[in-house]
Amino acid sequence: MRLQSSQVSGFVVAALLLLGAGSVDADSKNAPYYATPAWDQQLSTSNRFVVLPNWIDPNFPSGGAGVLDIETGLVWERSPSTETSSWTDASFHCNKLSVGNRMGWRLPTVQDLASLIDPTVSVVPLSPRAIRS
């Protein structure tokens, strides 16, 4: 299945915080300190992503609405929309989105999404019948 450039899957609607994780107060008793991200780090998946406990919203009243990618410094929405929409509609959705009481979200770029792919893991292609158009 090939998506047209005007379509955006629900996965792509997984908005990113425009300015990354921002600064974290090292003196706060509620928030751990995270080192400044650097592209020269290669972290294992189990060490790369941290659920942010202070990101509280109606979907996550106990916290954890955002996930910090320590390797890139990007923050991903923990529970993104799964609806398919046009690029314009998806951008509008992200622009008005509030997750963890934070605004300033954007659609991820191709490079942002590619940073999530582990090239050492082989992917088994789906059979043609499993693909819906």
Residue 122 forms part of a structural domain: no
Residue 6 forms part of a structural domain: yes
| Partner residues linked to 85 by β-bridges | 8
Range of the domain at 6: 1-116+127-133
Residue 17 forms part of a structural domain: yes
* Tens digit of each residue's pLDDT, the chain (133 residues): 333 433 333 333 333 333 333 334 434 445 565 666 666 777 777 788 889 999 999 989 999 999 999 888 899 999 888 889 999 999 999 999 999 989 989 999 999 999 888 888 887 776 666 555 5
Residue 121 forms part of a structural domain: no
Residue 58 forms part of a structural domain: yes
For the chain, how many structural domains are there in total? 1
